[in-house]
Structure 1
């Protein structure tokens, strides 16, 4: 009787293992989807915040460089070639941003439609050179096939040097956002945040960013 029970228990356990493995895979996939952008495979905003939180807890974490990248006038790409081709452009641009970030020992993310970000160690290279690298490589033509030909987009890049322990949304991304708008306004293509730099007046901006509108809506409903 005991032997029979042990055999039955063993067989039941063996039958259960495939189910457990499937559940583990599903859980892993679900976590990945929560922290990654499905189009580009880059981190999304939640994933970037998680990565920064991990970095800020590291005992040897030094200063970091936050890079905010906004594609200039991307809407005509969708209007001219369609959203599917527009998505191809966004995916290829994402690959370039990922490659640059990885080269400098950092990580990349897609925050919204045509807005990307990167976190880099601050001592890898000077900010001007990194900003120029992002601007130059993003502006290289994106090949979409013979029926469309190459598409060229440009980007405005804001950079900010902060401590790894500084709040990422309230300070790091905010400063990079301000620098990015100054780059866009003055045609510099990339700009490093400087103390005292303020966001351009509202009538000279394109309008509230997605995260700004979300914040406003959150306050309105609070």
Structure 2
């Protein structure tokens, strides 16, 4: 073999060996990037989408050329604080995860997706497959109210939480947080005012209940207010 051919062969072997050596590092880097992206769009307690992930899901759901109206569901657990106070935050997180799993299952059943927005607040986005919004909301209310079995301090306990659910119809072109989610939020507050453990379907012209009848401004309301005055 001539010297030039030997040099070429040596270079190719060195390149191949170098590539094989680098591949585990590239794979590790890719896995880290994938994990970082997952964390940006998911809630660590429930494994569900977070707010950023829900916004991305909304963009995907409404971005298709054939996109039609969507159903937006806002779910707020009723008086969840006593669960943490009684059983501890770790067990409270277990209840949140179990509840989130039920919400995600219902959303998937309807071809949609679900997210934990913050604290004990969840949301779901569904394509319009059936027009009966009240029936869909009833399913969320009923399944969430099913008991959750926990082991607290070495003892099996049963925890039952209920939820107030607001559900609304929105066009795919409606701004998500300002219109679609806002409608569901208004309906959810009416469900709270009507006694909780129930649902309200948003109707055109429905307004937020009087502030004196509410629990106080939500974290999202305060954030939007701060952004407006900044």
TM class by smaller structure: over 0.9
Structure 2 residue 72 is the aligned partner of structure 1 residue 66? yes
Please name the residue that 1:55 is paired with.
61
1:16-70 per-position Cα deviation (integer Å, ceiling 9, x unaligned): 1111111111111111110011111111000000010112210111111100000
How far residue 15 of structure 1 moved from its aligned partner, in angstroms, is 0.7
Please name the residue that 1:187 is paired with.
195
Larger radius of gyration: 2
1:93-150 per-position Cα deviation (integer Å, ceiling 9, x unaligned): 0010011001111101000010000001123351111111100110011000361410
Structure 2 residue 214 is the aligned partner of structure 1 residue 208? no
Could you tell me how far apart the structure 1 residues matched to 2:93 and 2:56 are? Answer: 25
Structure 2 residue 2 is the aligned partner of structure 1 residue 2? no
Could you tell me how far apart the structure 2 residues matched to 1:199 and 1:175 are? Answer: 9
Length, aligned pairs only: 221
Could you tell me how far apart the structure 1 residues matched to 2:13 and 2:228 are? Answer: 61
Structure 2 residue 197 is the aligned partner of structure 1 residue 171? no
Question: Which of the numbers 156, 163, 176 marks the counterpart of 1:155?
Answer: 163
Work out whether residues 81 and 148 of structure 1, in 8 Å CA contact, stay in contact via their aligned partners in 2. no
Please name the residue that 2:124 is paired with.
118
Please name the residue that 2:25 is paired with.
19
Could you tell me how far apart the structure 2 residues matched to 1:162 and 1:216 are? Answer: 23
TM-score w.r.t. the length of structure 2 is 0.93
Alignment gaps of 5+ in structure 2: 1-6
Could you tell me how far apart the structure 2 residues matched to 1:6 and 1:153 are? Answer: 65
How far residue 219 of structure 1 moved from its aligned partner, in angstroms, is 3.2
3-state DSSP class of the match of 2:155? coil
Alignment gaps of 5+ in structure 1: none
Structure 2 residue 111 is the aligned partner of structure 1 residue 105? yes
TM-score w.r.t. the length of structure 1 is 0.96
Structure 2 residue 90 is the aligned partner of structure 1 residue 84? yes
